[in-house]
Chain A
Amino acid sequence: MSKQSIATRRMFLKCGALLAGPIAAASVPALALAKERSDDGLKARVMRLENEAAIRELHRSWLRRINAGGGMALSGASVRRVTADHADVADRIEIAEDGHSATGRFDCAVEVQSMLPDDFTLGQMAHAQGSGTLRTTERRVLTVEYLKVDGAWTVQSVTSEAR
């Protein structure tokens, strides 16, 4: 079983910042409702649901970004596509008690592209015929660490593990 990190923090921070606006705006009616009822348990539940929704949207945005050619890397190979695997275990999002950090686990299929080495004959021939890249699809679980910065969720790190 392998565990690998994906891409850079800067890219995910940028991705999170893009999402901060709309997620914050969408959360206003829910917050108002919670306040009106002044029920702490309900308020906490609403907050959790609100955070989960924001994180899911951030995750979808991250997937779109990668699949649009966002240039991610995984174990020396470039990630071409990440597809959510809804047929497997449901997404798991755990939010810390203080509500400032969270961990998401997402089952997915990751298509990676790597270059065949060119220091041996078959590799050279593959490059010569224009097919020196290798694409493989692996079933993996992505573990994403999130941090809330200025009210918006941002991605801190992504690791992936083979399933």
Chain B
Amino acid sequence: MAGTPYPKQQLHRFAYTKLTKEQIAAKLAPVVLKGPTSMSPLAADFAGQTLSIVTDDGPALKYKFTSNGRLSLSENGGKPVDAGFGALESDNFCLFTHLIPGTQRGYAVVIDRKSKQATVIELWFSGYEDNREVQRQIYFGYVDAGGEAPKGRHEFTNRLEGRGYHWRQDNGMETLEYYPSAGYSHFVELSRTGGELGFCAPSDYVKLDNDYILYTRTECEFSGTFTAYAIDMNRVQQLGVRLGFDEADNLNYSLFRGHGDVTGQIAHFEKFEDNTGDPIPGPKDKDGKPVKGGRRVYRPIHTMEKMTREEVAKVVKEHATAFPAHTTTGGAAGMSQNALPASDYLAGKTFTLRYDHGAVMEYRVEGSDQLNWRMNGGDWVKARYQAYEAAPGLVLFGHLLEGAPDHDGHIMAVDFHQGLVTCYNGYLNTPYFANEAGARTLFGVLEMEGLQPPQYRRHQRTTEMLGRCITYSYAPGLVSMHLYSTPNTVSWIIFTPDQHGGMEWSGPGDFVKIRDGIYFMYWLEEACNGTLGTVLLNLNIMHDAGIGYNCGTRGLNMSAIGAIVRHAGKFDVDRYFQIRT
């Protein structure tokens, strides 16, 4: 029986081995003289050639290629060392890579044989607290052939920002890759992990010329693997290199070719004359100079608060807050300035939400912020709530379930015109961190006097949002863009002050169609603050209503979120998520 491609643990859950320097050295040693593997034929025109590369503020590299698989290198005039290498070529570009004996370093070099310009990527292990995370430093320079040095250089660019590709590589890897940022990227491994979730990585984008762009990513927070490839944007082909250790700690040092399809191009938001890249300034040393290999990386697993069940129980008992009373919209997290006004639509109403194969929730709503609920005929409980009328007769409301063993919260989209409800049931005490929210999606009906709910019809999960990018303007200066990269993933990108796409992260999500143009979605910040964020998005008015549910050391909190939205575009990726046998 054929197996499924789905991993037992997704990338953000896998406990990668903390490899020691010695372990890494031992794994690199056998490969240094062999060079990278490749499924495609390697370039065969290097033997007997010499190459001198000068870089700006970087190393001077003198190569002598003794064969098509072996070179000697002198760095900065130093003693030559021998190493195995591999090269791939396309048009006037060649990409070659090698490691350096006795070190944990190596290079990936891209040369434009026509313009004589060069991009040198120095790579090394054991440069960060997690030794397996590959570090990189990019230098721009030229091939010194004895004549006048070219004035131009390859340069960082935003020219790939907003593009998406489906790639199929010669090694069997099939991916969807999204570049919604000029400093990060998002990748979905269709072949290796089944494409359930997409993940984000800090990235570089280098303009080689108008036809080729060099892209890199480092899988920080995950395996630490480094990938770089040059994209022939006319033919939609790639040639690249991968260096890193997989989940089984096997070294992957390989060259690859691939071909792809453009899945789309969404908007980007810099000024029209701004084509610059590298928008996230790297860290500097005490003298103000850039730190070699330094880059700003979002590392949420490092920074998130991690609590035990006992700690969660204590903090919830002491500090459980729903919609803080000091603001009309209740937002405590800065994401509510543009929220819809709270509604009194529910005030005075008595109704029941009957979930399929689930709870029966009865409500007596006293006013615009107080209600009484009871589950399955139990005792009535008073709770603070807030409601937002996202469209006529369509209400989003939420409240905490005081006394629930997992400190549940219910966030519901209730359609009073159709008698339908969808509930995102947030809860704590989840397996990895007790304060990390989990979510259940409950479908059901609304029962109240004078309203006959449907017997068979329900809200439905949808893929209509798949591939879309929506910007959410929560407050002045606080904008993020959602990218719905898989049927189960929400990724979010924030912007730099000059409107480049900046840092990006992602988590699992769910998508339910409520009405035409109206979608109820959630994202879960797994291994990243643990928040459950819900969005009732009304594309008819380009506004959403949302409610967040979060537990940290300051307590359990339910609060409003809301934004004015824009549609940034859509990637055409539906066909990659069809279930086929």
Which A residues are closer than 8 A to B by beta carbons? 116-117, 119-126, 128-131, 134-136
Contacts and interface: CB of A to CB of B under 8 A. Distances in A.
B426 interface: no
B480 A130 contact: no
A134 B476 contact: yes
B503 A128 contact: yes
Contact of A130 (B280, B550, B552): B280
Contacts of A122: 334-335, 474, 478, 480, 492, 494
A121 B333 CA distance: 9
Interface string B277-314: 00011000000000000001111100100000000000
Contacts of B477: 116, 134-136
A139 to B, nearest CB: 14
B243 to A, nearest CB: 25
29 contacts: A116-B334, A116-B477, A119-B552, A119-B554, A120-B531, A121-B300, A121-B528, A121-B529, A122-B334, A122-B478, A122-B494, A123-B478, A124-B298, A125-B298, A125-B502, A125-B505, A126-B478, A126-B494, A128-B503, A129-B280, A129-B298, A129-B496, A130-B280, A130-B281, A131-B497, A131-B502, A134-B478, A135-B477, A136-B477
A121 B525 contact: yes
A146 to B, nearest CB: 33
Contact of B529 (A120, A129, A135, A136): A120
A119 B525 CA distance: 14
A117 B477 CA distance: 12
Contacts of B296: 128-130
B58 to A, nearest CB: 23
Contacts of B299: 128
A138 to B, nearest CB: 10
B529 A123 contact: no
Nearest to A120: B333
Q: Which of B303, B503, B531, B554 has the most CB of A within 10 A?
A: B503
Given A129-B503, A131-B497, A121 B334 contact: no
Contacts of A123: 333-334, 478
Interface residues of B, number: 31
Given A119-B333, A129-B280, A134-B478, A124 B497 contact: no
Nearest to B525: A121
A104 B471 CA distance: 43
B440 to A, nearest CB: 22
Interface of B: 183, 280-281, 296-300, 303, 333-335, 474, 476-478, 480, 492, 494, 496-497, 502-503, 505, 525, 528-529, 531, 550, 552, 554
Contacts of A130: 280-281, 296
Contacts of A117: 333-334
Contacts of A119: 333, 552, 554
A49 B57 CA distance: 62
Given A129-B280, A129-B503, A120 B298 contact: no
A120 B335 contact: yes
A131 B335 CA distance: 17
Given A120-B335, A121-B528, A124-B303, 8 more contacts: A117-B333, A121-B492, A122-B334, A122-B494, A124-B300, A124-B529, A125-B298, A129-B280
A128 B529 CA distance: 14
A136 B502 contact: no
Nearest to A128: B298
A129 B502 contact: yes
A121 B478 CA distance: 11
B294 to A, nearest CB: 12
A120 to B, nearest CB: 4
A39 to B, nearest CB: 55
B496 A131 contact: yes
5 tightest Cβ-Cβ pairs between the two chains A and B: A134-B477, A120-B333, A125-B503, A129-B280, A129-B503
A122 B336 CA distance: 13
Contacts of B298: 124-125, 128-129
A134 B145 CA distance: 49
A6 to B, nearest CB: 20
B494 A125 contact: yes
Nearest to B283: A130
A68 B299 CA distance: 36
